[in-house]
Structure 1
Amino acid sequence: MSEITVRVAKFVRLLDYLAALELDPHAAAREAGLSVAQLRAAAPDSTLSARQYARLYKTAVDQMQRLGQPVPWGAGVGSEAFALMCHCLISARTLGEALALAERFGRLLMPQLGYRVSLTLAEGGDRAGLVYQVEFDEQSSGFIPPDWGLIGQQSAVIRASGLQVWHALCGWLTGQPLRAEAVTVAAPPFSAGYAQALGLVFRCPVTFHAERNALWFSADHLQRRIVHSGESLREFLANAVYQLIAIDREPASVSAAIRSLVVVELPGPLPGFAEIARQLGLSESSLRRRLQAEGSSYQEIKDEVRCTVAMERLRASRDTVAELGEYLGFAEPGSFVRSFKSWTGVTPQAWREQQSAKPGK
């Protein structure tokens, strides 16, 4: 993946916003390993790593939460409420189930989250809509300072940025981009440039002044398998803003999606290639072509995951070789022993003994 960058002007805009809220932009920058003075001195069109922007945004959200109100921007990404919601979603098996859980979460915890999502099907049932409904009092909210330079833009940004985060989050959950067919924003656009930029992000028509604030896509996507686990979710949340930026700007790696899916399927037998293709919403031929383009294959990914998991459990657990083989989906212990030896050059028992003999073990 090529380096993703963000214009310095966006860093400075975020710092100015914190100052307008009477928060501490210097502390936020310092915690992110940045300097307010250096950012202000840099050319606005110069760029820095998107990872640096993600760190700054997270420290900014940490400060915004002190206002005691739900963070309205970008579906509250970076906040504790957003993280808690994601922990609820990760237990789902399919995207449809995850969105149903998100809808329940929003109904129960609307005051903490500040919005709710709901799932609707268009007439005929072939198109699904993720409706993003915000409850935000612009008059009393502490997030809209009276002397802020972006007054008049907040309604569109709050609603569209929420859809943008959910678009990327659905892609991360399934390991495949969510192909939007249409986006409707229940607010007026504040500039032609903003409307055009959103069209590039969603790669579909964007309509403003709409009755519903929604993201529309093929209902087939609802059957896509969730390919992540609690462990990968923790990694995602540690750098969520960057992860979401990357998903919107870079094509998803099908190898990474399969790798996550294989881990999720353990313990037990692993699904065949046809089933993996179905869960990813791809034809077998399309999946095979994409794997070839990435220089990989399903067998290589299975071997890589099984080898990694086997070594971790040989090192950290007391599983017998037979128990470990069963955990990894092998029909009998001998098959596991032969496979492990082909991966590492030694048997599982010999590998475990080598690790135990190392200094400090």
Structure 2
Amino acid sequence: MAEIVEDVQMDSQEIEQETRPEDVFMAPSVHKADDLAGKSYSHFSEIPKMIADDMSKEVVLGVDEAGRGPVLGPMVYALFYLPMELHHSLLADTHHFDDSKVLTPQVRSNLMRKLCTKGTDLYEAGGWATRSLSARDISAHMLSPSVYNLNAQAMDATIDLIKGVLAKGVNVKEIYIDTIGKPEIYQKKLESIWPTIGITVAKKADSLYPVVSAASVCAKVTRDAALDVCYEPYHERAMAAGEAAENANVNVAWGSGYPSDARTSNWLKLNMDPLFGWGSECRFSWGTAKELLEGKKPDVDVDWPVEDDGNDMRMTDFFLGKNDAGGDELVDWFGKRVTQEMEAF
């Protein structure tokens, strides 16, 4: 049975915090061609100099996500890692990382910019990676006969990111992860994969552990920028039609991407194709999209011509020769009677 995700209710303040800023930083983790094509992809930063100079240095790593609930855009998983001795001093004391939902959109964007700017302390000490799961792929998996649900997709994204960092030779000693589902079940699975690494899976980990807060910022800024990329074709279309001013604010059009955001729900209604719905930026497996599609009768008549392909034939009919009128199915084979073959010897 296909899994349908229902609307995530948010208040106006939460919606505002989830709305991307006008000048969101376009991080290198945003692959425009893949976002526009509806493809999922991963991005890994270079190993930071402070770690690359001494690969035996013990490292702490955190994982978090952004965009689990929206009906529009990708879900992005991100990890961040840095030397253990800098975990709190650099991230919490110096740069004041926190859960991305607590930070303003502008602060998130500025922190990500510092992380990607050579010469800054964040760039020299911190490494990071992201896994962007496209709306198209999320829905395809969730609507398939053998359901690959959102929790399973999220867990696999987390595992793949951690494996990618370990494969580079980074000496990870501790991992902190914001949970999906029950923390103890999630943690037990990860410990079975990496028994020698200290792993902590907890609710609100993005508020408890600065390294998870940093991962949260990486995930959120990457998703915000990807949403801008996904909206570009619609913005260009509106510009061509003369429906928007040249300096139109593109983030107003579909808002945060959450179904409970009035801007998002209005955009979905106004931009729904009567036959195909929306593009690869929409999660068709979400309850909001499903209800709109089922409630809208297509204005297009679709005719599926079917030729007579002889589907009423039995499999054994193919064993008869073209001149045979029929016979015992057990003695007919490849168009010749078995008795005829015997007579030839």
* TM-score calculated relative to the size of structure 2: 0.25
Higher relative contact order (CA 8 A, sep 6+): 2
Q: Of Structure 1 and Structure 2, which has the larger fraction of its residues in helix?
A: 1
Q: Which has the higher Rg, Structure 1 or Structure 2?
A: 2
